[in-house]
Structure 1
């Protein structure tokens, strides 16, 4: 074998770390960093008999790296090189290099913050920026600063931006290494409009395999897409010299190895993989990559407080990593199932998991570490404040943390289990009830994809108990059923046994499967649901969810919802749930049940309704009429009713309407006067209306309120006299009549008056400190407007004679003088003789 590129920079890397401290290694794909670097350090004097711990983000990569290094030494894993991943460990006293997944390092640090038997930690493929990787580095830096100054830290990656990491490590040196990359041709092959991904992927795999040598590595988002592409390939026939091999994290180890290792029969492999094959793994023989351009990511919904899986476009860095897999051992070709235009719009790098996932696990680990404020630690990307606070709130609800953020004894035990805090809380509570076996199966089912396959005639089944029964039946009788994924069953059994072993309990009694909903409620106290009928439930969190179709759970009064599809619609779809009895809720969640009297406006009653309620979060367990609600609460409920239904619910008499309009005119002229607009009055109800609401309980009571004195009280008596002067209710016209002013348009108040009553008045009357001329509606004898003016002088001079000519023939008995300014004003047909 030719010398690997990493060999050229190892002397520099060794020298850098002999001086102590930390370093960053940026090595391109194919350089050999994962398998060569740890071996280069095992004989360093500064190790002083301590071991090297290397972190790999994925279990398959961790096992593969350990096995490869062991073969190089002529050993089996568990000798000089070992590994530890969840549910699988190969180590011994002779182990000097221990390859672990990221969660394992967290457990090591929590149990021994000084890491007394570790001399060096290597963070491999750090560019993936997993939550546990960021946490592991932060804890390791704390341990180094406080307890182990001699601890070496090496961060390695193929695509990492080295400068920020080097700065985080105290301006650590950066060593760069080119890769051994053969040329790779890139072909863009987007599907035709309407072509399903599976069909297009299968067609490109066949085309590429027929046109180019080597194995095919096809990237897909998840297991479902892999299975569908596999079915599409098999339906069209697989050439005799080829074999299809799926590769994803939940596959059994033997099936994963079959995808990674050369085929025993020498056949070409068509490997259908998730992003598990993007880095670290070396799959000899791959010269063709077919990339769909998507990946599966777990996101966290701030709106619902629930995590969900999303399928998203890969970043340019991930696409380049995938492309590079075709050129590890020989020239290759990469087919990208998207266009040049899409390529130009891909984001440069993957979003760190820290910025988009549920931070409750991180909050628990930091609480157990003794950190209450994550800003006190070193991070490449600090935890987002809002998401971290939500995580802390969940910990308090689960009893894992105190209000000040410090960890409780229960929280410390939860952290030791290494599960999500929700599942850890359930396991510990189940142990006290002698139901740890049932809880372990429930937790394993929730961490696995659904074991039920949808088949012809299969109706919706969201009851998690049917999955538990299938697991129990398979364990007891070895019977799975045609609609059940047997491989998933095996993983669930393995995981549940592992969890019970971690719990180290002897309290696993006979399963009481009817307690499944209760056990789940210890994990999901915010997702206890109360039926609203028709398969719909209101959760204690206030969220609404519904079952996907009619099923037995639809008839349950209370359920605990463990899994929800929240991607579409206002209400989430329940994926997994179990019934829980009201009696159990009262017995086991009594500390969270509150008694309160609710007083609220009920539009259907047209009044205030007061009820005494027993509540668990947002759901009402029991309700009865309240005898005598507090007067203040009733008044506030009335205000809520007014805000909901509008000011029209009040009795606005003609006088009240006019007063409000006059006051609004004054406000328009002088902002010191109160604003009488709807928005302002509704906003300040407490100030002007609340004192008058005591003793009222209904719409009819509101209708009896006298609004005129209430509004007058808003301005006080000093302004009341000015109001009468500057915005009078009536104007006395030359005929002696008192005519009401119309203030419906505060910017243009109107005086509607018979033309003959205005004879002799030279100028238009003005109000509001002489700023606003009245708009005069001059009326005919039939009370119809014949002229609208705000310039009376101009009307007498120019408009009057035209009006006179028009009306004199129609109203010959009425008074039509030649000079209106000298004429006698009259409200009658003709003025009385003088």
Structure 2
């Protein structure tokens, strides 16, 4: 094969030299530069590689396969010789292979199975700008391996549209940039007409492009469904022009993908309908026109199903630019965008880390044994917490000695399957071959789009349609192509799990539920005794069936899809289950215990004996003689439900709490160290109720039995004696004024200030003006940091002035106040010179 020149060729010596001097590199190269197919072979003879393998991560299966075949052809070999690839359910790697192109899950498994990466000298992360979760994890693992086990390992991150400077800083790596192969591309917008569907808008754009411009047309659509509709819409008009219409997406057979990636043998023009698989890493010859829908299917967490599902979303501007560039690879080109010119796109693609469910990531980190890996964008803590909670339910994790749960042996078996932990748990649960084959069917059904056009909430109906399809009698309301894809996916799972048995031709509905409960232990549900449409879930929530539900009347359900709604969650897909089998499978989750709880409706303690499955109450009976020792727990729960205002606060206690809170804000250093001034916010007090309030409630059966003195002692117990002394010194309750009298300081804390975070209010000293004669400056507290807000009062105790600047008041405002008040209060002193006058809290003596 004659290898053409690539724009990246002049940069290859610099790439080799950089990696000889530094173990990491960021390589920026636009589409068409040749980074995917030219960089790996250029490194094969590098001395530092020492005959070891190069593993290149390629996000998409089509691109991985195409890149490996192209590099192999360059060497006059077949894939599987020097250059090979590994993707899901397909392996073209031999004993002589030195360049392996792998997809994302494969790389993670390689590192987890062999952290030393024996025999591997370099890891290349191609198209890193796509920011797939598995690529972020793979890079984090690779960096950990490099820093702790393999200093000689080379890591190259290659990207077309990523912020290279940020990435280079994160990796502490050199950054090289390559020119691309690009000709000018004219951008035009081709917006939809009123109520026009996407496929008809696309047909108009394609017809215009074929008439106005030379070359092939590449149209970007979000997915297979839209490609099929566009193909149907184009069939008549394009066929008449002698133009071939081809599809390109990841689920196509290899032969059809290869056909698209080669020029037409008869020289006919082509219209290629592609997903974003054609956005990077694969080259389509002859394309001069790009038509861009501006849409893509990308993973988003679907709380209904508990999985990340592919949703149609608007692409980022970087993707739009990359797609348009496909029109300028061979000559001047044209790009038509099917959205209005006024529409603005997000500049960059958001990382999957921020928008998908993270159970798989949490399991990988538990297997690695180090949750402190370095990520370019760290996992969101809330999503990680929810993921670990699910894994504990699935039996993949168990509470560890440290802060993080530890992976179980079952969790490691789940991880080896390379699928979502929910599906892995279900696939590993069956004990006989027939059930394992049925579990493979279920896994295929849960991962795929709905094969039934008629809807409904019975998962069994979908499985029956699949069984009928296998028997040659698919129901009319089902999509044959969707059922064929399901059948193929199930076969692949059976092959992966080495299941020799075929799926059953028939099965009762509860057999599906008996398997499904292993994937959705949090969504096992029991029918409510008072409302047959409502179900209580194992996670403590409840949900309702639709009025026309096909599973109405079932006492127990395993729910695979659930629409969360603030008013009422709805069951979208479910299967009945056998409660006897549930008890056999999970006996440890059935518990009987006596509970003393707070009944919010009766505002009293209730004592019951309950039998539960997780948080589903199966049976509850009142107890005549509950254990008094458990009353305190119930009363603490009452405070959690009712709030802190249910406690017997006195004005003095509220002031004491405000002083502590204000002082923490005025003097932040007091909130640091081994024994800090305690946090007395609502959230902190509620979180620590068991520590400070529960002892005070011991032996009490009513909340109002807690008196003010006992409550005050409990609250003050949060501050030890030394802090109480410091509090009196730094935030005193009273202050001596020049008249010799003690006057109270009032403290306040506004919980709703500062955007809801709360803020200390200025401390207030209310005092008659005459008591401050002779005092030049405003008194201060908090080690001199906080001025008091003075409420200067008339002899009758009415406010005359509010100020934190006493000196300024004497100089500027007092003369006016004296002139007005002297006639109104003649029995009280109003000296011309307040600076030297004697302070007093009394009226003038008689006769003066």
TM-score normalised to structure 1 length: 0.72
Q: Secondary structure at the match of 1:89?
A: strand
Cα RMSD of the aligned pairs, angstroms, is: 4.3
Residue aligning to 1:347: 346
Residue aligning to 2:273: 272
Paired with 1:145 and 1:554, the residues of 2 have a C-alpha distance of 57
Q: Secondary structure at the match of 1:159?
A: coil
CA contact (8 A) 1:125 1:156 kept: yes
Moved more, 172-181 or 575-584: 575-584
CA contact (8 A) 2:304 2:561 kept: no
Deviations along 1:556-592, one digit per CA (max 9) or x if unpaired, are: 22211123455x7644554432111222222212212
Paired with 2:627 and 2:117, the residues of 1 have a C-alpha distance of 61
Paired with 2:562 and 2:657, the residues of 1 have a C-alpha distance of 54
Q: Alignment length, in residue pairs?
A: 683
605, 611, 615: which one aligns with 2:612: 615
CA contact (8 A) 2:305 2:561 kept: no
Structure 1 runs not aligned, ≥5 long: 650-659, 675-679, 697-701, 716-768, 773-793, 795-834
CA contact (8 A) 2:433 2:500 kept: no
CA contact (8 A) 1:168 1:378 kept: no
Residue aligning to 1:469: 464
Residue aligning to 1:436: 436
Deviations along 1:109-154, one digit per CA (max 9) or x if unpaired, are: 1222222222222111011111111111122222223332222222
Deviations along 1:328-347, one digit per CA (max 9) or x if unpaired, are: 1222111122233323xx22
Q: Secondary structure at the match of 1:450?
A: coil
CA contact (8 A) 2:494 2:500 kept: no
In structure 2, relative to structure 1, the CA distance for the partners of 1:624 and 1:21 (3 Å cut) is same
488, 492, 515: which one aligns with 1:498: 492
Matches within 5 A, 1:447-458: 447-452=447-452, 454=453, 458=454
Give the CA deviation at 1:280: 0.9
Moved more, 196-205 or 132-141: 196-205
Give the CA deviation at 1:87: 0.7
In structure 2, relative to structure 1, the CA distance for the partners of 1:201 and 1:402 (3 Å cut) is same
CA contact (8 A) 2:55 2:100 kept: yes
Paired with 2:573 and 2:701, the residues of 1 have a C-alpha distance of 50
In structure 2, relative to structure 1, the CA distance for the partners of 1:295 and 1:451 (3 Å cut) is same
**Residues 1:516 and 2:518 aligned together:** no
Q: Secondary structure at the match of 1:245?
A: strand
Paired with 2:144 and 2:657, the residues of 1 have a C-alpha distance of 63
Give the CA deviation at 1:46: 3.5
Deviations along 1:4-62, one digit per CA (max 9) or x if unpaired, are: 10111112112222345122211112111111222222233433332221110010111
Moved more, 221-230 or 583-592: 221-230
Paired with 2:617 and 2:657, the residues of 1 have a C-alpha distance of 46
Q: Secondary structure at the match of 1:553?
A: coil
Give the CA deviation at 1:628: 3.4
Give the CA deviation at 1:265: 5.3
Paired with 2:212 and 2:301, the residues of 1 have a C-alpha distance of 43
CA contact (8 A) 2:306 2:561 kept: no
Give the CA deviation at 1:101: 0.3
Paired with 2:294 and 2:466, the residues of 1 have a C-alpha distance of 36
**Residues 1:282 and 2:283 aligned together:** yes
CA contact (8 A) 1:316 1:349 kept: yes
Residue aligning to 1:72: 74
In structure 2, relative to structure 1, the CA distance for the partners of 1:604 and 1:39 (3 Å cut) is closer
Q: Secondary structure at the match of 1:393?
A: helix
Q: Secondary structure at the match of 1:47?
A: coil
**Residues 1:526 and 2:522 aligned together:** yes
Paired with 2:521 and 2:697, the residues of 1 have a C-alpha distance of 41
Q: Secondary structure at the match of 1:116?
A: coil
Paired with 2:618 and 2:319, the residues of 1 have a C-alpha distance of 51
**Residues 1:485 and 2:479 aligned together:** yes
Matches within 5 A, 1:180-259: 180-234=181-235, 238-259=239-260
Residue aligning to 2:759: none
Residue aligning to 1:393: 389
Q: Which has the larger radius of gyration?
A: 1
Paired with 2:121 and 2:656, the residues of 1 have a C-alpha distance of 75
Q: Secondary structure at the match of 1:329?
A: coil
Structure 2 runs not aligned, ≥5 long: 659-681, 713-794, 799-823, 825-848
Give the CA deviation at 1:400: 1.5
TM-score normalised to structure 2 length: 0.71
Give the CA deviation at 1:199: 3.2
Paired with 1:303 and 1:85, the residues of 2 have a C-alpha distance of 29
In structure 2, relative to structure 1, the CA distance for the partners of 1:636 and 1:98 (3 Å cut) is closer
In structure 2, relative to structure 1, the CA distance for the partners of 1:615 and 1:214 (3 Å cut) is farther
Deviations along 1:195-221, one digit per CA (max 9) or x if unpaired, are: 443433332232223222222222223
Give the CA deviation at 1:240: 3.8
Paired with 1:100 and 1:493, the residues of 2 have a C-alpha distance of 25
CA contact (8 A) 2:80 2:97 kept: yes
Paired with 1:230 and 1:584, the residues of 2 have a C-alpha distance of 49
Residue aligning to 2:720: none
CA contact (8 A) 2:629 2:699 kept: no
Q: Secondary structure at the match of 2:231?
A: helix
Paired with 1:12 and 1:44, the residues of 2 have a C-alpha distance of 12
Residue aligning to 1:47: 49
Deviations along 1:467-517, one digit per CA (max 9) or x if unpaired, are: 333434444x34444443344434433433333343346798968653221
16, 24, 40: which one aligns with 2:18: 16
Give the CA deviation at 1:646: 13
**Residues 1:153 and 2:155 aligned together:** yes
Paired with 1:255 and 1:461, the residues of 2 have a C-alpha distance of 35
In structure 2, relative to structure 1, the CA distance for the partners of 1:13 and 1:293 (3 Å cut) is same
Give the CA deviation at 1:637: 7.4
In structure 2, relative to structure 1, the CA distance for the partners of 1:551 and 1:236 (3 Å cut) is farther
In structure 2, relative to structure 1, the CA distance for the partners of 1:673 and 1:544 (3 Å cut) is closer
CA contact (8 A) 2:56 2:100 kept: yes
Paired with 1:771 and 1:710, the residues of 2 have a C-alpha distance of 34
Residue aligning to 1:423: 423
Residue aligning to 2:137: 135
In structure 2, relative to structure 1, the CA distance for the partners of 1:596 and 1:334 (3 Å cut) is farther
Moved more, 18-27 or 405-414: 18-27
**Residues 1:97 and 2:99 aligned together:** yes
Paired with 2:571 and 2:6, the residues of 1 have a C-alpha distance of 52
CA contact (8 A) 2:304 2:562 kept: no
Give the CA deviation at 1:320: 0.8
CA contact (8 A) 1:87 1:495 kept: no
In structure 2, relative to structure 1, the CA distance for the partners of 1:631 and 1:255 (3 Å cut) is farther
CA contact (8 A) 1:164 1:380 kept: no
CA contact (8 A) 2:62 2:249 kept: no
CA contact (8 A) 1:20 1:150 kept: no
Paired with 1:255 and 1:481, the residues of 2 have a C-alpha distance of 29
Moved more, 507-516 or 155-164: 507-516
Residue aligning to 1:360: 359
Deviations along 1:172-205, one digit per CA (max 9) or x if unpaired, are: 2222111001111111233345444343333223
Matches within 5 A, 1:747-786: none
Paired with 1:564 and 1:242, the residues of 2 have a C-alpha distance of 46
Matches within 5 A, 1:815-830: none
Matches within 5 A, 1:560-579: 560-566=558-564, 570-579=567-576
Paired with 2:655 and 2:425, the residues of 1 have a C-alpha distance of 59
**Residues 1:382 and 2:378 aligned together:** yes
Deviations along 1:694-732, one digit per CA (max 9) or x if unpaired, are: 788xxxxx9xx9x9x9999999xxxxxxxxxxxxxxxxx
In structure 2, relative to structure 1, the CA distance for the partners of 1:536 and 1:204 (3 Å cut) is farther
Residue aligning to 2:664: none
